[in-house]
Amino acid sequence: MSPTNIFKFRPATLAAGDDRWFVEAWDSTLPYLASIGSTSQWQYIPSNIPGAVSKVKKMVEDSDICAKKYPIASPKILSGNGVPPLDWDKAYVAEIDVKKEDVPIALADKYSNEHGETVTIPVGAMVLMARSPEYVRAVIPEQDENDPFIYLSFLMTDHRAGGLAKGSGSALLSIAKEEVKSLGLKRLCGDCWRGNGRRLVGYYDGQGLKAIGDFDVPKNEQDSWEGAVTEWRA
Ligand SMILES: CC(C)(COP(=O)(O)OP(=O)(O)OC[C@H]1O[C@@H](n2cnc3c(N)ncnc32)[C@H](O)[C@@H]1OP(=O)(O)O)[C@@H](O)C(=O)NCCC(=O)NCCS
Instruction: Find out whether the beta carbon of 211 lies less than 6 Å from any atom of ligand 1.
Output: no
Q: Do 175 and 11 meet the contact criterion of CB atoms below 8 Å apart?
A: no
Alpha carbons 180 and 206: distance in angstroms, whole number: 19
Q: Domain of 191?
A: 8-233
The number of folded domains in the chain is: 1
Asked whether residue 175 is domain-assigned, the answer is: yes
Q: Do 39 and 45 meet the contact criterion of CB atoms below 8 Å apart?
A: no
How much is the pLDDT for 112? Answer: 84
Asked whether residue 23 is domain-assigned, the answer is: yes
Instruction: Find out whether the beta carbon of 225 lies less than 6 Å from any atom of ligand 1.
Output: no
User: pLDDT tens string for the chain (234 positions)?
Assistant: 455 899 999 999 999 999 999 999 999 999 999 999 999 999 889 999 999 999 999 999 999 999 999 999 999 999 988 999 999 999 999 999 999 999 999 999 998 888 889 999 999 999 999 999 999 999 999 999 999 999 999 999 999 999 999 999 999 999 999 999 999 999 999 999 999 999 999 999 999 999 999 999 998 888 999 999 999 999
Asked whether residue 1 is domain-assigned, the answer is: no
Q: Do 210 and 231 meet the contact criterion of CB atoms below 8 Å apart?
A: yes
Instruction: Find out whether the beta carbon of 157 lies less than 6 Å from any atom of ligand 1.
Output: yes
Asked whether residue 215 is domain-assigned, the answer is: yes
Asked whether residue 201 is domain-assigned, the answer is: yes
Residue type, 16: A
What is the DSSP track for 32-91?
HHHHTT-GGGS-S-GGG-HHHHHHHHHHHHHHHHHHHHS-S-SGGGS-TTSPPPTT-EEE
The residue contributing the CA closest to ligand 1 atom 31 is: 203
- The pTM score is 0.96
Instruction: DSSP letter for 127, please.
Output: E
The residue contributing the CA closest to ligand 1 atom 6 is: 169
Asked whether residue 3 is domain-assigned, the answer is: no
Asked whether residue 2 is domain-assigned, the answer is: no
Asked whether residue 76 is domain-assigned, the answer is: yes
Instruction: Find out whether the beta carbon of 29 lies less than 6 Å from any atom of ligand 1.
Output: yes
**CATH code at 180?**
3.40.630.30
